[in-house]
């Protein structure tokens, strides 16, 4: 599926690209090949040292943390990440999940909040 993003140069014109990466044989590229042939080259080109913190795996953790913070379910995240067991996803990413006490408090506060002035005057 084509997606238009500003990938050519920062601040430049948007470029439409296909997000499925493939090699010379038009076969979908596996993560190891993508990491070696594309990601590492991009880091080098940008002058960024290759470390665990700049690797593709760090991007997976970032992706997972953003979705969990937005309230995505562990079951759905497990599917997105390709994990066979949502329990594995939960054990791996539980430290990234928002505090259940905070979620509980916000949920109860929302239900028990006094009506807003807009609704009271309607």
> What is residue 48's predicted lDDT score, i.e. its pLDDT?
92
- Asked if residue 37 and residue 59 are part of one domain, the reply reads no
CA distance 73 to 7: 30
Residues 6+ apart with CB under 8 A from 71: 98
pLDDT digits (tens, 9 = 90+) for 26-49: 777 777 888 888 889 999 999 999
- Asked if residue 102 and residue 80 are part of one domain, the reply reads yes
- Asked if residue 61 and residue 44 are part of one domain, the reply reads no
For residue 17, the Cα-to-chain-centroid distance in whole angstroms is 19
Q: Give me the domain span that covers residue 14.
A: 1-49
- Asked if residue 88 and residue 68 are part of one domain, the reply reads yes
- Report the pLDDT averaged over residues 14-32: 75
- Asked if residue 84 and residue 43 are part of one domain, the reply reads no
CA distance 35 to 118: 54
pLDDT digits (tens, 9 = 90+) for 70-91: 888 899 889 888 889 999 998 8
- Asked if residue 63 and residue 44 are part of one domain, the reply reads no
- Asked if residue 100 and residue 59 are part of one domain, the reply reads yes
- Asked if residue 62 and residue 79 are part of one domain, the reply reads yes
- Asked if residue 59 and residue 97 are part of one domain, the reply reads yes
Query: What secondary structure, in 3-state letters, does 66-80 show?
Result: HHHHCCCCHHHHHHH
Q: Is 49 helix (H, G, I), strand (E, B) or coil?
A: coil
- Asked if residue 76 and residue 62 are part of one domain, the reply reads yes
> What is residue 34's predicted lDDT score, i.e. its pLDDT?
83
- Asked if residue 81 and residue 41 are part of one domain, the reply reads no
Task: Please indicate, yes or no, if residue 121 is contained in any of the structural domains.
Answer: no
pTM over 0.85? The answer is no
């Amino acid at each position: 599926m084509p997606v238009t993003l500003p990938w050519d140069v920062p601040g430049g014109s948007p470029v439409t690209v296909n997000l499925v990466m493939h090699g010379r044989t038009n076969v979908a590229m596996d993560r190891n090949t993508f990491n070696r042939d594309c990601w590492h080259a991009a880091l080098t080109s940008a002058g960024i040292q290759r470390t665990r913190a700049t690797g593709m795996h760090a991007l997976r953790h970032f992706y997972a943390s953003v979705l969990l913070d937005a309230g995505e379910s562990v079951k759905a995240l497990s599917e997105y990440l390709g994990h066979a067991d949502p329990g594995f996803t939960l054990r791996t990413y539980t430290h990234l999940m928002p505090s259940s006490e905070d979620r509980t408090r916000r949920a109860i506060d929302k239900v028990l909040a006094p009506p807003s002035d807009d609704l009271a005057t309607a």
